[in-house]
Chains A and B, each alone.
Chain A
Amino acid sequence: MRFLVELLATLVIALALGLASAWYMVDAPRIGLGVGAWQAVPAISSATADPYTRARIARTGEIALGAGEGLVFFADGDDRGTAFDGACDYSVSGETPTARLWTLAAVDRDGRLPAPATGRISLTSREILRDLDGRFTVTVSASARQGNWLPVEPKGAFRLVLRLYDTPLALSPGNGMTMPQIERGACR
């Protein structure tokens, strides 16, 4: 009797541990480079993709950037590690690694884009306003702001997605990488 109970408990624990760890690894990219609040999505190519990446793509159906195409970073919180909240303003400032083009967008945790009144849902390096020394500041806020403004929904968590196109970083990530800083401003 004792044997049966122990066997059953072991099986249940094994199943729960195995499935939970598999879910954790497949749910979001966990292996990759992190800089400050930013986490790089490892470059994806059919020749080198690991089983976790294969499973994630099969599950979400997402179209990832190719290895030679560029690199995607995402951030779920500011530099202090506090999760983003639509009730607060955030400033994303500094510079990005070298890239011919970059785009910045905000999505919710399921990857959906917000529906702001202005219709603007992303910023690109071509249209952004910069200082004389090439640095920029983007204000992420639910209400209109001067300068570079990226709207988000006024409630709930969100994720910033920075896509770098045609960057040498895609081939050798990590070398002298400078990512924009993310700081929290006023909250409502």
Chain B
Amino acid sequence: MIRSLVWMIGAILLAGIVHIVAVIGVPRFAVVDPWREIGAIANDEVFTRLPRAGPGGKTLPGLDPAMTHSVCRFSLDRGPMRLRAEVADAYWSLSLYDRSGLWVWGVDNRAAEQKPIDILVATDVQVAQLRETLPDELEDVVIVDWPGREGFAIYKLLVPTKSQEAETEQILATAKCGVAQFR
């Protein structure tokens, strides 16, 4: 009796260890993390329009079918990234995700009112360098201090009605993403 109880406690403790190792191990060995999924359907460092979520069509999982999305995967190795886009009257949001697909920072149409999006994503070191010699043109730019070196941005716009689809797609197409160039 005592003997089997000891075995049982041992099994539960060991199960706990297996549980923890498995959960922590998944991100390390995952085959479909968002980073790789985006790499498979879009080029790096340029905004790529994703097909509308719907039956069929290769897009990313978890997107809202009522919205139209554009994605830009970036790395800060060659300098800070500058993201710019025109905005719409209806709902829009720009979200930044880290290498593992977790949300880090975002802006939507209430926070930004109706000003066009203009943000600069930079690492700690790059932010420090920028602060020293801030180019004039960056005075109105929002600077996002980025954890790590890689990430991706998703710009999404609500398609209010079928008839406004073309107009909304045009605004989506204004989204630009690239290594910041200063004069």
Determine whether B17 belongs to the interface, using a CB cutoff of 8 Å to chain A.
yes
Contact B63 A63 (CB under 8 A): yes
For residue A64, which residues in chain B have a CB less than 8 angstroms away from its CB?
62, 101-103
Task: State which residues 21-52 of A face B: CB under 8 Å.
Answer: 21-23, 25-26, 44-47, 49, 51-52
Whether the pair B158, A124 counts as a contact (CB closer than 8 A) is yes
B: interface residue count bin:
35 or more
B22 touching A22 by the CB < 8 A rule?
Answer: yes
Interface size for A (C-beta < 8 A) is 57
Q: A19: CB under 8 A from chain B? A: yes
Cα distance, A63 to B71, chains bound together (Å):
11
- Known: A10-B11, A166-B108. Contact between A57 and B102, CB under 8 A? yes
Binding site for B on A (CB under 8 A): 6, 9-11, 13-19, 21-23, 25-26, 44-47, 49, 51-55, 57-69, 100-101, 103, 105, 111-115, 121-124, 126-127, 163, 165-166
Q: A58-B27, A66-B106 are in contact. List 5 more A-B contacts (CB 8 A).
A: A18-B19, A45-B103, A46-B97, A55-B23, A166-B91
**Which residues does B use to contact A, with CB under 8 Å?**
3-4, 7-8, 10-19, 21-24, 26-27, 30, 32-34, 36-37, 53-56, 60-67, 90-91, 93, 95, 97-98, 100-106, 108, 110, 147, 154, 158, 160-161
